[in-house]
């Protein structure tokens, strides 16, 4: 398997523009996660899906952020309008094993999308 695939790898845009990040999870994985990583705050969970259904979006910063998963092999994270404080690396990750009997499976990360908002 090719692993989790993200695009674009790098995005430079101007404040106020719309940004769309894309993710293809590992085939067969039923959990998909979007994380944001900055030096100051580390890895923050934005939202995660189970079987294409959003389960927890409490980490989404504000209404400017939205995420969709129209099918098992594709997800998008959209920022509209973008702001300089959104500059970060956005990771998509997928997981096969759900939490059960107190145990959770491994997260497999994509290579990330580095976003710079000027």
Where on the chain is the footprint of another protein (CB under 8 A)?
Answer: 31, 33, 35, 41-45, 48, 50, 55-56, 91, 95, 98-99, 102-107, 109-112
Minimum CB distance to another protein, residue 78 (Å): 21
* 115, 15 contact by CB (below 8 A): no
Place of tokens 């969970």: 45
3-class DSSP state of 22: strand
* 65, 79 contact by CB (below 8 A): yes
* Residue closer to another protein, measured from CB, 35 or 65: 35
* Residue closer to another protein, measured from CB, 59 or 81: 59
Minimum CB distance to another protein, residue 16 (Å): 28
* Residue closer to another protein, measured from CB, 82 or 94: 94
Q: How far, in Å, CA of 4 to CA of 20, rounded?
A: 17
Q: Which two tokens stand for residue 59?
A: 């980490």
């Amino acid at each position: 398997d090719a692993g989790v695939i993200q695009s674009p790898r790098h995005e430079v845009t101007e404040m106020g523009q719309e940004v769309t990040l894309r993710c293809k999870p590992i085939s067969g994985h039923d959990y998909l996660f979007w994380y944001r990583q900055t030096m100051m705050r580390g890895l923050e969970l934005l939202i995660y899906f189970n079987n294409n259904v959003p389960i927890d979006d409490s980490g989404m910063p504000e209404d400017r952020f939205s995420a969709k998963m129209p099918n098992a092999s594709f997800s998008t994270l959209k920022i509209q309008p973008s702001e300089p404080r959104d500059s970060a690396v956005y990771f998509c990750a997928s997981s096969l094993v759900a939490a059960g009997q107190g145990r959770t499976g491994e997260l497999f990360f994509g290579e990330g999308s580095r976003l710079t908002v000027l």
